[in-house]
Structure 1
Amino acid sequence: MRASRLLFILTTLQARGRVTAQALADECEVSVRTIYRDIDALSAAGIPVYSERGSDGGYRLLDSYRVRLNGLSPREAAALFLAGLAGPADDLGLGAVMTVARTKLLAALPQDLRASAERMRTRFHLDAPAWFAEAEQPAHLAAIAEAVWTQGPILIRYQSWKAEKRRRVEPLGIVLKSGAWYLVGRVETSVRTYRISRILELEILREHFERPEAFDLPAYWKAATERLEADLHSVTATVRLSPVGAEMLAAFSPPYVKVRTELEMEAAADGWRTATLPVGRTKQAVVDLLRLGAEIEVLDPPELRDRMAEVAADLARIYGKRS
């Protein structure tokens, strides 16, 4: 365990430059005192680690020092090749670069690790889009990726749900979600998200912006998706479900709804059970719940129950007609 932690500390210092003892302790899930002992052990082994004091201080390696890749375990070496996604890299204009990088990495690995890495590449494949959906290949994706990398602001003409807009955006990152590409960027003082396929025109400005040091793309995306899911399911509905309806609800519901659905353990005499679950506003909730057909009955809120009854009556009139 300690040997693995020492290697982690060593590679982290090489990758990030200056790192505080507290940050290393948090990532290794040990005490700061343990990190102090680990740093002493690295120094005793001849590793050129030195400390810098002050508010911006921390540990760092001598700039010329580099760690060889022969410290990787077979599974770690294989995982590096699993992380290389050819399709998204091609979309970003980095396909050829990734191929060269993979070749260099394979050559740098010790002979006994190469076979493991190659097996990972040939036996695992990631297909990002959902079923029955095509992956997007937006026209401006490669240009936006370049702007993210060079920290160049862009002007976009964007088609939102409501209207066409023009924005000056400082691109902070790109996210691939279920086959769709999203741009995360700063507009004035706020950070916003744009679906790249809806960008109609794009111009990269001959300027440079400073990226916020505290901005964390994964943390922002996690918080943004949680806010969106909560907004899309802002109403709580009470329903009755048949045994088949309970199974269908579990099969069709997104994870956000599944986690927050409370289903009665005991069924009534007719086998039906009551459940409370988050749903969208009335119009969207009707669309979602109608998938369960006659296996569900909405009890509350009244406006949702009334709208379900109206739609059911409309369907009965349509299908009750004789041709």
Structure 2
Amino acid sequence: MRASRLLSILTTLQARGRVTAQQLADDCEVSLRTIYRDIDALAASGIPVYSERGAEGGYRLLDGYRVRLNGLSQREAESLFLAGLAGPAAALGLEAVMATAQTKLMAALPQDLRAGADRMQARFHLDAPAWFDAAEEPAHLRAVAGAVWSQNLIEIRYQSWRAEKQREVAPLGLVLKSGSWYLAGQVDGDVRTYRIARILDCKVLERHFGRPPDFDLGAYWRANTERLEAELHPNRATVRLSPRGVRLLEALSAPYVRAGTQIADAADDDGWRVATIPVGTTVWHAAAELLRLGAEAEVLDPPELRAYMREAARALAARYGVWPENLTRGSGADEALGQGMGRARR
């Protein structure tokens, strides 16, 4: 275990340059005292590792010192092939490059590790888009990706939900989320998110830009996602759910809605339970989400949402007419609906 940790510390120092003891402790999941002992052990073995004091201090290797570290464990070799995502690589124009790199890596692996790499590719597959949704193929994805890599400014014509806009953007990074590509771009000093499928035109400029030294793409995306989720569902509704309604809510709601939902443990005499659910910014938005639950949900609060749901139900009843006498609400109606849909497909 210690030998593996010493090797990990050495590769980290070689890859990152200066690293603090706390960062090493976090990476290795050990105490600071353990890291101090490991650093002493590396130095005692002849590795030129030095410490620098101060706010910008940490540990580093002697300038120019390199060590060849070719040893891979079986699990490490397997994980490298799991990281080869064919779909996103193809979208970025890197499918052939990735395939060549994997072939070279396979050839470089010892014979006893190749079987594990083959097994990983055969048994794991990433399908990025959500269910019943196709992956986007934005027209300007490769141009934007090239600008991200080369740090060239881009000029885009963008269709937001409000209006069409013209922007000069410093492209900082790309994110693939549920089959859709997004650009984190800096405009007038602020970092904003653009869905690449909504970029109508893209021109890569000759001018370059400097990346903000403190910009972390992963941290930005997490914070941006949390902010967006909070903005889209800032209100709460109290809803009475049937047992089937609870299951429908779990199946149809977005993850952040499910995470924020609180369902009472106790049920009433009919088996229904009261839940508090995050809902949208407007009554219309909230009703549109809750109407998917049909008659398996009853809004209790707020009053304006309950009134809207009542009017929506009245309008639906008027549009579809009287319920057929030979059908009962529930499994019989579901079976008839399924038969009707089957006839329609034929």
Aligned to 2:283: 282
Q: Deviations over 1:134-179 (max 9, x none)?
A: 1111111111111111111111000000100011111110000000
How many angstroms apart in 2 are the aligned matches of 1:114 and 1:46? 33
Deviation readout 1:42-71 (Å, 9 max, x if unpaired): 22333343344454333233434133231x
Q: Which amino acid aligns with 2:258?
A: K
Which residue in 1 is equivalent to 2:206? 206
Cα distance in 1, alignment partners of residues 214 and 10 from structure 2: 24
> Which residues of structure 2 form unaligned runs of 5+?
324-346
Deviates more, 1:77-86 or 1:241-250: 241-250
The residue aligned with 1:145 is 145
5 Å-filtered alignment, 1:187-198, equals 187-198=187-198
Distance in 1 between the 2:266 and 2:33 partners? 53
Which deviates the most, 27-36 or 201-210?
27-36
Map 1:40-119 onto structure 2 (within 5 A). Answer: 40-62=40-62, 63-70=64-71, 72-119=72-119
Residue 226 of structure 1 corresponds to: 226
Closer/same/farther in 2, CA of residues 101 and 51 from structure 1, 3 Å limit: farther
Paired with 1:267 and 1:260, the residues of 2 have a C-alpha distance of: 20
- Amino acid in structure 1 at the alignment position of 2:67: R
Tell me the CA shift for residue 11 of structure 1.
1.6
2:262 is matched with: 262
For the residues of structure 2 that align with 1:311 and 1:187, how far apart are their CA atoms?
A: 42
The sequence identity of aligned pairs, in percent, is 67
Structure 1 residue aligned with 2:307: 306
Deviating more after overlay: 245-254 vs 233-242: 245-254
**Is 2:316 the counterpart of 1:315?**
yes
Q: Distance between the aligned counterparts of 1:58 and 1:107, measured in 2?
A: 38
- Alpha-carbon distance, 1:125 to partner: 0.8
Whole-angstrom distance in 2 between the partners of 1:122 and 1:64: 39
Deviation at 1:238, TM superposition (A): 0.4
Per the alignment, do residues 238 and 112 of structure 1 end up closer, same or farther by CA in structure 2, a change over 3 Å counting?
A: same
Give the drift of 1:255.
1.8
Which amino acid letter does the alignment assign opposite residue 222 of structure 1? R
SS in structure 1 opposite 2:256?
Answer: helix
Task: Compare 52-61 and 277-286 and name the one that shifted more.
Answer: 52-61
Amino acid at match of 2:314: A
State the Cα distance separating 1:28 from its structure 2 match.
2.0
Provide TM-score, normalisation by structure 2: 0.88
- Kept in 2: contact 1:69–1:109 (CA 8 A): no
2:339 corresponding residue in structure 1: none
- CA contact 1:156–1:169 (8 Å) conserved in 2: yes
Name the CA distance, whole Å, in 1 between partners of 2:27 and 2:69.
Answer: 22
CA distance in structure 2 between the aligned counterparts of 1:242 and 1:118, rounded to whole angstroms:
48
Q: Secondary structure at the match of 1:210?
A: coil
After TM superposition, give the deviation of residue 23 of structure 1 in Å. 1.7
Residue type matched to 2:89 in 1?
A: A
Look up the match of 1:184: 184
Comparing 251-260 with 28-37, greater Cα deviation is found at 28-37
2:247 aligns with: 247
Query: Which amino acid in the other structure matches residue 210 of structure 2?
Result: E
Once the two structures are TM-superposed, the CA of residue 239 in structure 1 deviates from its matched residue by 0.9
Distance 2:172 2:234 in 1: 29
- 1:69–1:108 contact (8 Å) kept in structure 2: no
TM-align CA RMSD: 1.7
Contact kept in structure 2, 1:48 and 1:65, CA below 8 Å: no
Aligned partners of 1:260, 1:194: CA distance in 2, in Å? 26
Tell me, in whole angstroms, the C-alpha distance in 2 between the residues paired with 1:121 and 1:316: 53
For residues 302 and 229 of structure 2, the distance between their equivalents in structure 1, rounded to whole angstroms, comes to 20
Mind listing any 5+ residue stretches in structure 1 that lack a counterpart? none
By how many angstroms is 1:321 displaced? Answer: 7.2
TM-score using structure 1 length = 0.94
For the residues of structure 1 that align with 2:189 and 2:262, how far apart are their CA atoms?
A: 40
Any idea what SS the aligned residue of 2:206 has? coil
Matched, 1:161 2:155: no
Letter in 1 for 2:291: L
SS of residue paired to 1:207: strand
Whether the 8 Å contact between 1:140 and 1:202 is mirrored in structure 2 is yes
